[in-house]
Structure formats: structure tokens, C-alpha cells
A = this chain, B = another copy of it.
Amino acid sequence: MMNIGIDAMGGDFAPLEALRGVKKYLEENTNEALRITLFGDADAIKKIIKEEHIPAASIDIVATTQVIGMHEHPTRALKEKTDSSIAVGFQYLAKGKTDAFISAGNTGTMLVGALFSLKTIEGILRPVISSIIPKQNGGTGLILDVGLNADCKPEQLNQFATLGTVYAKHVLEIENPKVGLINVGEEEGKGNILTQATYPLLKENKQLNFIGNIEGRDTFNGKADVMVCDGFTGNIILKLAESIYDISKTEAPDSPYLNRFNFEIYGGTPVLGVAHPVIVGHGISKATAFSNMIRVAEKMLKTEVLHKLKDAIQPR
């Protein structure tokens, strides 16, 4: 028997959508060894169960009287609102009354709750959060950390790789998942201080199928299944990736906007801070790119931008 706890009050559309999710799950799955424990406003929950015709046989309700808002301070809220759905949900989980806990509520509070209500796995330096990344080959990737640890040590990234490998193998059902270190170049030795120091650790970690460095462009291809980075980098990648979906919904495939992702039209990359304009182009540059690099150089000169940069750095 497994018992899954759900914060019925968490999320912008709670409790209705939380409960509709429960209904959808129950309709599609017939795991009789599974119970669901809902934490929240019991009257509201019962009302919705009735109105939405949710099969209630496998549902337990734990009445809580408080709700932690989306913008409350995580630590303070958890301390002060001891009868909130999140606080009680974690108590149940810590005591073994439930086996898992789900919430779409205040993310910070959920993380603080996870870190302080629960023990960490022995030997874990720091917990980590991960996210699924859709791969263009139809597969599924995992990226971690996506935000819990903004600054990381190499040993942490090495553990993230192990955690991600195990999770990918068992939960995502990826056989022998390929681990990639998110970096700014493919060769060993590339990177910032963190990734340079992490590479040898991953290479020596016998628990991993380490395939080396991967780059930003490999996020959606099949090069690596488990993509390892610090929480700062991962959070930015994740939020950027999420925004792509919104864009794809509003743009036709040959829309002028998507065409603007053709980096050739911008020509090249100016090096700023040296005494003359230098434009660095892509290896794949064709006529348009070259033409536009010239245009940029011309513009830089015409506008005397170097003098302006100089003035800005050393105001007279």
C-alpha cells in the first residue's frame, strides 16, 4: 500500500484543479494499493469531490485551517502557519503516515519544508532539484540542479550526476543514461573553475556513463540524458526552455519571429573593450552573415562607438 499526500490548497487554481487532477489520475489508473491523502479545507474539498463526481473510496482528507500564500516568506510561513496544508503535509510525510508529498504551492516553502522537515539521505552534501527536458529525438532528458544550489562545489555536481543517473535509470527508464556536464566547450579543460574541477570527478565516477562536456545547444538533442550543472545555470536553462513553449504557441513555423532566430542575420559578435572594432563570425557564415558583419563594423565606426565606450569607462 502506498499513500500519496497532496496539498489540495497549493497552486493558482487550487483546490479545484488539484482535485480534478486526482480525478483524472484515478480514472486512468487502477492501482488499488494506492491511497491519496488530501491536506486542506475539508469542506471545500468535500464539496468539490461531490460536484465533480470524484470517486472518494481511496481518498483521505486531513483538515487543515491555514494556507501559505504564493508570495509568503518560506521559512517564516512554515514556522508560523503550523496548521497549513504544507506544514501538515510534511509532518505526515516525516512521520511515515504518507509516502510522498505533492504541492503546487509556494515553491520556496516546499523546498524549505523538504530540507528541514525531512532527513537528507546519508552522505548527501546537498539536495538538488531536477527537471525533465524534452529531447527532439523523442526521448526524455533530466537536468539538475535547476535552482536549489546557486553556487556549487565540484563534489556536489558529482553527486548530482549520480543522483540523476539513478533517477533516470529507474524512474525515466533510460538504460545506462549518458551523463553530460553542461559547459562552454566540448573538450576536457574547457569551462569555468567549477566545471574544470568537476570534469575529472565525473570521469572517475564509476557509477556514471559520463560522455563528457555538452553545450547549450545540446539541451534538446540526444547527446546526454542526464545534464549536470549548478543551480544557477540550470534554473536559467529551465526557465528559458519553458518560454520556448509559449513562443511556439503564438508563432507559425516560418513566422518572422522564428526566422529571427537565424543568427546569420546578425552577422557576428563584436568584441567590446579592445581599441578597435573586431567582429567574430560563426564558422558557418555565408554571404548574408558577412554582409551584415560589414554593416556592423560600419555602424561601429560611423557612430564612433569606441570613443563612447572609452568615455563611459573613463569619464573625463
Taken together as a complex, chains A and B put the C-alpha atoms of A266 and B146 apart, in Å, by 15
- A200 part of interface (Cβ distance < 8 Å): no
A242 and B261 in contact, given A25-B295, A310-B122 (Cβ under 8 angstroms): yes
Query: In the complex, A230→B233 CA distance in Å?
Result: 11
Provide the bound-state CA to CA distance between A127 and B269, in Å.
Answer: 13
| Range for the number of chain A residues in contact with chain B | 35 or more
Tell me the complex Cα distance, A239–B280, Å: 15
Q: Indicate with 1 or 0, residue by residue over A104-136, a CB within 8 angstroms of chain B CB atoms.
A: 110100110111001111111011111110101
Q: Report chain B residues within 8 Å CB of A167.
A: 270, 272, 305, 309
Distance to closest chain B CB from A96 (angstroms): 9
* Residue A301 CB within 8 A of the other chain: yes
CB-based nearest B residue for A148: B271
Chain B residue numbers with a CB within 8 Å of A118 are 274-276, 278
Q: Are B100 and A297 in contact (CB under 8 A)?
A: yes
Q: Which residue of B lies closest to A160 (CB)?
A: B272
Separation of A41 and B256 alpha carbons in the complex (Å)? 38
Report how far A25 CA is from B162 CA in the complex, Å. Answer: 52
User: Does A30 belong to the interface (CB within 8 Å)?
Assistant: no
* Count of this chain's copies in the oligomeric assembly: 2
A17 CB contact (under 8 Å) in B239, B273, B279, B286: B286
With A253-B248, A300-B100, A309-B167 as contacts: A21 and B293 at CB distance below 8 Å: yes
- In angstroms, Cα B244 to Cα A80, docked, is 45
Do A303 and B171 touch (CB < 8 A)?
yes
With a cutoff of 8 Å between Cβ atoms, the chain B residues found around residue A253 in the complex are: 248-249, 251-253
Distance of A44 from chain B, by nearest CB (Å)? 16
30 interchain pairs, CB-CB under 8 A: A4-B294, A10-B281, A11-B282, A11-B285, A17-B289, A18-B285, A21-B292, A22-B290, A22-B294, A24-B291, A25-B291, A36-B294, A110-B278, A120-B274, A122-B313, A129-B271, A129-B272, A129-B280, A130-B270, A132-B266, A134-B261, A148-B271, A165-B312, A170-B308, A215-B236, A217-B239, A219-B240, A233-B233, A245-B261, A252-B253
